[in-house]
Structures are given as C-alpha cells and as structure tokens.
Amino acid sequence: MAPKNEGKKTESRKRSHVELVASQDVTHRRTTGFEKLEFVHNALPELALEEIDTSTVFLGKHLEQPLLISSMTGGYDDATSINRELARISYEFQIAIGVGSARQALENDEHFRSYAVVREENPDGLVFTNIGGAEVGRLGREYKIRDLSTIIDLVKADALVVHLNPLQELMQPEGSPDFRGVLDGITKCIAELGVPVIVKEVGAGISQQVAHQLIHIGVRGIDVAGAGGTSWAGVEILRQDKKKRHDLEPFWDWGISTFDALVEVAELRKHATFGLIASGGMQNGVDVAKAIALGADLVGIARPLILALKQTGPDGLREAVRTITKQLRYAMFLTGSKDLAELAKQPLRRV
C-alpha cells in the first residue's frame, strides 16, 4: 500500500478535477463523430411507444436502461454527497454506476465512505469500482492484490474497472508517468480477483490493437471512452502554470474519436465475446441509440450528469436522466425498434 501522506495529494487533485469539470469548458474541440451519423427514419414503425423495452443484462445483472453513470469521483469530503445522489439515481432508474478511482482509498482510509455510500444507496444494482492502470502496473511492488480486494469490498463491486490514462498522467502537474507492467498487472487481476475486469480509457480512446491485447488475456469488458467529450488532458493542462499550458496545448485534443474507437473495437466481437461500453461525449438519448446501433452494450455518461447535479441539484439530475431515457425510447420508436436487439440492427448513414 502506498504511503499515507500520498492520500492528501490525491484528495486535493480529485477535488480540483470535479471543480474544473463543473466550472470550466474542458471539452474536446474535436467531436465524437456521432453528429455525422443519422438513423433511417421509419415512417411505418408498426409499434406503440408503450411497447418499447429498453432493458438489458450486463455481467448477469438486469438493467432497465443500457446506461452507465461513468466513474467520476470519490476520496474527499464533497465526493460522499455527490456519489450518494448519483447512486440514488442509479437505483431509481436501475442503471449501472461506477465510482471514481479508488487510488485515494489505497493511500488513506479517511474517506472510505465516499465510495461505500454507492452500494448503500444501490444495494442490488450493477456497481463498478475503479483503479488506475499505473497502480495496477505496480502490483507486487507498491500495491498487493489484497489492496485491490479492499476497494472491491468497499462497494461490494460487481467488477473492477482499470482505467488507462497515459495522456492524462503525462499532462498532470505532479505526474511522473510510468506504465511499465500494466498488461501483466491486469493479467494478475483477472487471475487472482474474484470479479470480472473491465478496462477503459478516460477520453483518449482505445484502439483495436490495444483492445485485442486486452481481450486476449481475458478482460471481460472494454469501455472505449473516446475523444469528443471531456478532455482530461485539458483538465490537467488547466491545472498547470501558464507557461506549461502553452507547451502542452497541442495535446488537448489528442486521441481516437468515440465513433472510430467504437467501430474498431466492435469489429473484434466477430471473433470474441466481451462486453462493450461506449463513452466519451455522449450527450443525449439519440447518442445512446447510435452507440447501441454501432455495437455497444452499455453507454456511459459523466459530465452532463455532474453538471446537472451541480447546477440544479438532485431534481435536475433526475430530470437529466429521465430526459435521456425518454429520448432513447423516442429514437427506438422512430426506427421501429421494439427492443435493444432490434435497435442494434438499425442502419446508420453518414450525413
């Protein structure tokens, strides 16, 4: 386990991340690519809106919507209230939820509750815990498998998400990027932990080549987390002094677009079985529908939800999720898709 004094540094960084995401324009200046796609309108859908079934099963858990509240925060005082509200919404709408990186919990047990509250508020739902690839790469040196078991137990997690964020680490003011041993570390997690392992990026996308490596070692799910939404490189650049911001500016939009990453990784499902999550700039229910049509099982959304919570409170968060689910149902109706299996077969054309 890492030295306890590291926990305060991580806590401060987590707080500043949420503050910047909620108060600054930290989006990619490139797009997801989804705006260049449209469904073929079905003027004769031959179904009633009330018939539409948006439910799905992921890792053996029933969900009413193919939605994931993507990993956002944890590990400092305010994170407890944020995660409580997000978890309440995930329970109410029966959608999946991930907690933010639990690295801070490995360094300092002061804010365990900011993670544990998610399972308290959503006792039966699909919950993911989350740790960085750099930490997994230090298994056997700085961290032990039992440390990861601790963060799994904190939320009684259904899966461990390992996030790969070399770009973000490179941009951090306090960063010292070292991604040696990450693939071996993920392999150890798969072999020694009692839960499925999912791997995601944090806004720069996962390529087909990397996804192939991960699937080969037994990863159960891939979250492509492509470019087009929040730029975590941008978040870290804003945390730098002005001189360094100028030097790092060309990396603000580095990455693979969500569309390209999703299409490339979905190709691998012709030869392998794994869960596929699309995230990175998903804004509304039509984006969700397009992602399903492109091969995703779940669609992760983060910044629009934290903005709704910060700006309009729990009622605003609830309304944001309700709107997304309504838009998804409308898109399904207008394509004649009674369920998600039919939606997945709908053609998309470039505009």
Question: Token pair of 100, please?
Answer: 């933010």
What Rg, from alpha-carbon coordinates, does the chain have? 19
Instruction: Enumerate the β-bridge partners of residue 62.
Output: 57
Residues in the chain: 351
Our CA angle for 158, 139, 204, nearest 5°, is 65
Say if residue 227 is exposed, middle or buried (CB neighbours under 10 Å; 0-12, 13-18, 19+): buried
Q: What is the Cβ-side half-sphere exposure of residue 59, based on CA atoms within 13 angstroms?
A: 24
Beta-carbon count within 10 A of 256 CB = 24
- pLDDT at position 167 is 94
* Among 31, 39, 25, 100, CA closest to 70: 100
CB distance 155 to 112 below 8 Å: no
Please name the fold of domain 6-350. Answer: TIM Barrel (3.20.20)
Question: Token pair of 64, please?
Answer: 């009413």
HEC string of the chain equals CCCCCHHHHHHHHHHHHHHHHHHCCCECCCCCCHHHEEECCCCCCCCCHHHCECCEEECCEEECCCEEECCCCCCCHHHHHHHHHHHHHHHHHCCEEECCCCHHHHHCHHHCHHHHHHHHHCCCCCEEEEEEHHHHCCECCCECHHHHHHHHHHHCCCEEEEECCHHHHHHCCCCCCCCCCHHHHHHHHHHHCCCCEEEECCCCCCCHHHHHHHHHCCCCEEECCCECCECHHHHHHHCCCHHHHHHHHHHCCCCCEHHHHHHHHHHHHHCCCCEEEECCCCCCHHHHHHHHHCCCCEEEECHHHHHHHHHHHHHHHHHHHHHHHHHHHHHHHHCCCCEHHHHCCCCEEEC
What is the identity of the amino acid at 302?
A
Residue boundaries of the structural domains of the chain: 6-350
Question: Token pair of 131, please?
Answer: 């740790």
What is the identity of the amino acid at 213?
Q
Question: Token pair of 52, please?
Answer: 């539409």
* Among 277, 275, 272, CA closest to 262: 277
- pLDDT at position 8 is 54
Q: What is the mean pLDDT of each run of 10 residues along the chain (351 residues)?
A: 53 69 82 97 98 98 98 87 97 97 85 93 97 95 94 96 95 87 97 97 97 98 96 89 90 96 98 97 98 98 94 97 98 98 97 92
Question: Token pair of 281, please?
Answer: 């700039």
- pLDDT at position 347 is 96
CB distance 251 to 216 below 8 Å: no
